[in-house]
Amino acid sequence: MAPTDSGGTAPMETDHGESSSSSNGKSSQNRQEWGQEHMAHTGERYLVLVEFVYRHLNFQMAELESILETFDIALGSEKCRLHPLPIPLEEGSLEIEAKNRAFVILSFPIADAQKWSGLALQTPEEQRKNIRFEPRIEIGASSSSAASKLSIADILYKCTLVKSVVELWGYSSSSLEECATRTLEWVQRKQNNIESASDRPSPLAPSFQKEHLWPSVFANPEQPWKFTIHTLGTKVHRDEQDKMRQTFRKTLDCIEGPVRLKDPTAQEFLLIREIQLDGKGSPLWAKTEKTTTTTGTETSQPNREFNTDAIAYYFGRVLGGRTRSSDGSRGIDHYSLKTRPYLGPTSMDAELSFVMTSLGRVTSSTIVYDPFVGTGSILLSCAMRGAYCIGSDIDIRVLRGKGGDRTIWKNFDYYGLPRPEILRTDNALYHRHFRHHTPGDSVEDEDESVVAPTLYDAILCDPPYGIRAGARQTGSRLENPRPILEENRHDHIAQTKPYVVSDVMSDLLDVAARTLVVGGRLVYVIPSFRDFDEERDLPRHDCLELVHTCYQPFSTELGRRIVAMEKVSDYDPRKRQTYLSTIWKFGAESAEKCANLREKIMEAARLKPGYEEKAKIRKEKRRANKEAKKQEKRAKRAADQRALEVQNQQ
């Protein structure tokens, strides 16, 4: 039977007895009966298997949903649904954790299969572009014609965490042979059951397989192809691989093109053998074996073998895959921090920066603002997607850089990107430093300051929390600081004082609510300990709605969350104090959860055994490194002096 989708919470294949766990409390038998009852009025669906890289598991669905929304595809609508993954009907199969499965199946109306597959809409050269990571997202009136030609692989491949996109022909959770049978039945189907909103039987139409798949893929003698087996972290003997290939012999014999395994332009057919993995992407250990001794007592003997039993098989045509392309590009590694001229202690790594741009729905028509720009690592990812970038920071030393090629602008020059607008300013005084641009649009707030208009489509930032760099704001610790003379004001850099973390977050949300367009997004990073409760401790704003929260653990105690919020209503400057008073749901108790993190980390480290010895070793290493740098500077200074003397003598 072909892989079809019955919609809602119906089982994946009712006639084969497979079902997926559901939150509505129905039993497996009830779900099967429900699916069979509605199957008559539900048409076939075009299924696409999305495989993620096995990193940042908690970020994957949030990024996928945001990218689809960027192209006006609502996940969960009739246009695009989530199809349940197969689960083996065996004892203990319900223990399989969905959060450790790096796969998602998307289903689309079969009538849209031609568009999403890219067949007959793209040239072979355009289809082959999907073999590498392309961060740029073109959205706008000028690119509407190009957007209409995008396949689902073109869209999903803007996701940083997507590894491959596969047109799913068949799948099974019971056996490889059943997967092969379903694959053959699907590709040989001559008519499709089109979805119908009425109670009448769904009409039959010439199938996508017959009209487009066979002429372009099977009956094309000039199209080379190859067959790849993906075994997910395990090694499979060559004999077993040959047996897997022979299982799909009937389907592969229909392909008329030549086999070229090393040709990067060849059409790839992929068989995935899924096994259970842990949170780090490694196979699980097999369960311990209990043995009975001569005295009748049971003992557990650890089994030091991996559990490599398959939980599902998938077969299909690869629409896009993250491999090294023929032109030698390195994909996401091309944007690694190691390649950049200028870095700081808090530079965000490239992969998470791209994820943040996806959550912020950044495109070529987006204006992005980073109020804590630092070395510009987040804005760099936004510029790669074509956005117009604006950044500010209170630390003038970071903005000026270290001279020569070690400046924030050189990072953009290195990738051939337009330079951003960079300002030295204080986010706590945004409403005083920024003015409106259109006459007559100003609104006076309670503090008699002019409110800047809605300007940004997205605000992306990594605020300082005092772990590697402390937060600062304009001001002096002195009660009566010395006034600045009028003749010095034009180039004066104001003094700074410590910036309380709770105030950092309050001001950030207030600026976002003021300046984002309705529908614009704020994406920020917030570190936290294990006792952090998202419902109680995340800052909120009446004008902003929480959309996504993704957690990245650093250790058993410490981690960080990337939070995405969307502006849902206009900002009323007369309610500013009310907004600020409700940002922390439980007041100081919630604000304390993300404050003094460095002290909390040090306190937790001191409780670990051997801390004093390790601290002493680290101290000696720092002293040795410091002394080595001094010696290096002295030697360089002496060499320069000798060279100068020789030059003077000549």
Q: How confident is the model at residue 604 (pLDDT cuts 50, 70, 90)?
A: confident
Distance of alpha carbon 369 from alpha carbon 457, whole angstroms: 8
Q: Average the pLDDT over 381-408 and give the result.
A: 88
Q: How confident is the model at residue 30 (pLDDT cuts 50, 70, 90)?
A: very low
- Cα dihedral sign for 503, 344, 351, 412? positive
Backbone angles phi, psi at 267, to 5 degrees: -70, 125
Show contacts of 126-132: CB within 8 Å, 24+ apart.
Answer: 127/151, 127/319, 128/264, 128/265, 130/154, 130/157, 130/165, 130/319, 130/320, 130/321, 131/264, 131/320, 131/321, 131/322, 131/323, 131/325, 131/326, 132/322, 132/323, 132/324, 132/325, 132/329, 132/331
Structure tokens at 178: 């059943």
| Contact indicator for 320, 481 with CB cutoff of 8 Å | no
Q: How confident is the model at residue 300 (pLDDT cuts 50, 70, 90)?
A: low
Residue with the bigger pLDDT between 321 and 291: it is 321
Work out the number of other CB atoms within 10 angstroms of the CB of residue 107: 21
Residue type, 481: P
**Per-residue pLDDT, 556:** 76
Distance of alpha carbon 375 from alpha carbon 347, whole angstroms: 7
Instruction: Name the strands in the sheet holding 516-529, side by side, starting at the edge strand that comes first in the sequence.
Output: 421-424, 388-393, 367-370, 456-461, 516-529, 558-567, 544-553
Work out the number of other CB atoms within 10 angstroms of the CB of residue 135: 23
Structure tokens at 224: 């080379």
**Per-residue pLDDT, 330:** 47
Does an H or E element contain 473, and which? strand 472-474
Smallest CA-to-CA distance from 83 within 118, 34, 135, 48 is with 48
How high does pLDDT run on average in the chain?
Answer: 78
Distance of alpha carbon 250 from alpha carbon 246, whole angstroms: 8
Say whether pTM exceeds 0.85: no
Whether the per-residue pLDDT at 290 is higher than 60: the answer is no
Beta bridge partners of 275: 310
Which segment of 142-146, 159-163, 282-286, 385-389 scores lowest on mean pLDDT? 142-146
Residue given tokens 């294990």 in the structure block: 530
Q: How confident is the model at residue 618 (pLDDT cuts 50, 70, 90)?
A: confident
Rg (CA), the chain: 29
Distance of alpha carbon 101 from alpha carbon 281, whole angstroms: 9
**Per-residue pLDDT, 7:** 34
Q: Average the pLDDT over 144-151 and give the result.
A: 65
**Per-residue pLDDT, 306:** 60
Whether the per-residue pLDDT at 142 is higher than 60: the answer is no
**Per-residue pLDDT, 387:** 94
| Contact indicator for 350, 218 with CB cutoff of 8 Å | no
Q: Average the pLDDT over 616-645 and give the result.
A: 90
Which segment of 200-204, 333-337, 462-466, 600-604 scores lowest on mean pLDDT? 200-204
Q: How confident is the model at residue 285 (pLDDT cuts 50, 70, 90)?
A: low
Mind listing the domains of the chain with CATH numbers? 45-133+148-193+211-284+305-319 (3.30.2130.30), 350-433+455-475+494-607 (3.40.50.150)
Smallest CA-to-CA distance from 140 within 70, 82, 86 is with 70
Whether the per-residue pLDDT at 547 is higher than 80: the answer is yes
**Per-residue pLDDT, 166:** 93
**Per-residue pLDDT, 283:** 67
Which segment of 73-82, 95-104, 442-451, 508-517 scores lowest on mean pLDDT? 442-451
Residue type, 33: E
Q: How confident is the model at residue 156 (pLDDT cuts 50, 70, 90)?
A: confident
Burial class (CB in 10 A: 0-12, 13-18, 19+), 573: middle
Could you please report the per-residue DSSP string of 126-175? HHHGGGS-------SGGGHHHHTT--HHHHHTT-TTEEEEEEEEEEESS-
Length of the chain: 650
Residue with the bigger pLDDT between 107 and 119: it is 107
**Per-residue pLDDT, 128:** 54
Q: How confident is the model at residue 291 (pLDDT cuts 50, 70, 90)?
A: low
Whether the per-residue pLDDT at 546 is higher than 90: the answer is yes
Residue type, 101: R
Percent of the chain with pLDDT over 70: 75
Distance of alpha carbon 158 from alpha carbon 364, whole angstroms: 13
Q: How confident is the model at residue 370 (pLDDT cuts 50, 70, 90)?
A: very high
Whether the per-residue pLDDT at 116 is higher than 80: the answer is yes
Residue given tokens 């998202």 in the structure block: 534
Which segment of 39-48, 205-214, 352-361, 477-486 scores lowest on mean pLDDT? 39-48
Q: How far is CA 329 from the centre of its chain?
A: 21
**Per-residue pLDDT, 521:** 96
Q: Are strands 81-83 and 45-52 parallel, antiparallel or unpaired?
A: unpaired
Q: Average the pLDDT over 11-31 and give the result.
A: 34
Q: Average the pLDDT over 471-498 and give the result.
A: 81
Residue with the bigger pLDDT between 565 and 232: it is 565
Whether the per-residue pLDDT at 4 is higher than 60: the answer is no
Residue type, 387: A
